[in-house]
Amino acid sequence: MSKRGLGLFVSAIMLTMLALTGCGGGAKAPEESKAVESSAEQKSEEAKTEESKQAKEKIVVGYAQVGAESDWRTANTESFKSTFVPENGYELIFNDAQQKQENQIKAIRDFIQQEVDYIVLAPVVETGWDTVLQEAKDAGIPVILSDRMIKTSDDSLYTALVCGDFIKEGETAGHWLEDYIKLKGKNHDEKINIVTLQGTIGASAQVGRTDGFANILAKNSNWNMLAKQTGEFTQSKGQEVMESFLKQFDDIDVVVAENDNMAFGAIDAIKAAGKTCGPEGEITVISYDAVKAAFDAMIAGDLNASIECSPLHGPRVAEIIQKLEKGETVEKIQYVDESYFDTSMDLEKIKSERAY
């Protein structure tokens, strides 16, 4: 039982005891019975106050967020901050770890000390969580993983996980490129030179997207991965790495950026190098997330396609917490259904209907 569950259980026993103290004990003399009645009334009043205090008590959620490295991340933070509000019965303690695991570990320890009811973790990298999550488990605080996953030999260290299926996203990018090359009527043996701007190395979003794309690359013998390097999921690093790729290789056909912001940086670098990109240009650019600015880049003709990844995990995590509060079981691993967008679609319309 969670700490919060245990607390509620103990209170329920107390309430029952308060209600019971006025009853039983055989027949009473009239005065005695009056006194007992009034004390019972008083006690049931106390019980009521206790009950309403409980009703007013907020569910305290500590969120160990990765940082503020991308548009996706900003939308994700906003999703949590607008969901976990007092009007919905929550108190949110938000921590921005500035992309550092050690900061997230410290934040989790602080949450444990503050005796929060739930810990939500968006793990910056996959490994190295067992010790601190064991501490949360020992303290009876359920941990919900959101956005990215972890590698652990003990699945009981987290209660649920909600995120994108990153391998599938990588494969979707690969399939999109296969179709696009066919559409362009390229010769089957024509060499396709690719560079990849990777996310934070060791983040499940990076690992999954890299591996998923590699699965499709393996099926296309004419695809040639020239280089892969991290751009840390940021626009400035993406630009920097793309600048160096353009200096090293003069025959890049495709850039796969493992998020939109790195693609924006890459597009700037391509233009600064006097090259062109997008559906009408020399270099094809594919990215992940599909934030609104990616739609603008596709509409402007700079970006070819963006593979969707939803940042709107606030309500999804709230639903999990509500189920746990009711003692219901939750699905352990929940992948969000995702799609992709490219310049063949009615992007203005789609963009106007999107929340991020």
> Could you say which of 240, 253, 289, 308 contacts ligand GYE (CB under 6 A)?
289
In the complex, least distance from residue 348 CB atom to ligand GYE, rounded to whole angstroms:
23
Nearest to 133 by CA among 114, 156, 115: 156
Nearest-angstrom CA–CA distance, 315 and 119: 15
| Minimum CB distance to ligand GYE smaller for 180 or for 288 | 288
For every residue of 51-113, DSSP letters joined together read HHHHHHPPEEEEEEE--S-SHHHHHHHHHHHHHS-GGGTEEEEEEE-TT-HHHHHHHHHHHHH
* Residues contacting residue 110 through CB under 8 Å, at least 6 positions apart: 62, 95
* Residue 288 found at the interface with ligand GYE (CB under 6 A): yes
* Interface pattern 183-212 for ligand GYE (x via CB under 6 A): ----------------------x-------
Q: What does each C-alpha distance from 54 to 50, 195, 257, 317 come to in angstroms?
A: 6, 56, 49, 22
What residues from 125 to 154 belong to the interface with ligand GYE (CB under 6 A)?
147-148
* Residue 263 found at the interface with ligand GYE (CB under 6 A): no
| Minimum CB distance to ligand GYE smaller for 73 or for 316 | 73
| Minimum CB distance to ligand GYE smaller for 4 or for 235 | 235
265-280 burial: b if 16+ Cβ within 10 Å, else e: bbbbbbeeeeeebbbe
In the complex, least distance from residue 305 CB atom to ligand GYE, rounded to whole angstroms:
15
Distance from the Cα of residue 135 to its chain's centroid: 22
* Residue 285 found at the interface with ligand GYE (CB under 6 A): no
| Minimum CB distance to ligand GYE smaller for 70 or for 104 | 70
> Could you say which of 72, 118, 245, 264 contacts ligand GYE (CB under 6 A)?
72
| Minimum CB distance to ligand GYE smaller for 111 or for 233 | 233
SS3 251: coil
> Could you say which of 59, 62, 64, 73 contacts ligand GYE (CB under 6 A)?
73
| Minimum CB distance to ligand GYE smaller for 118 or for 233 | 233
Nearest-angstrom CA–CA distance, 302 and 323: 44
Distance from the Cα of residue 45 to its chain's centroid: 44
Contacts to ligand GYE by CB under 6 A: 69-70, 72-73, 147-148, 164, 205, 233, 259, 288-289, 309
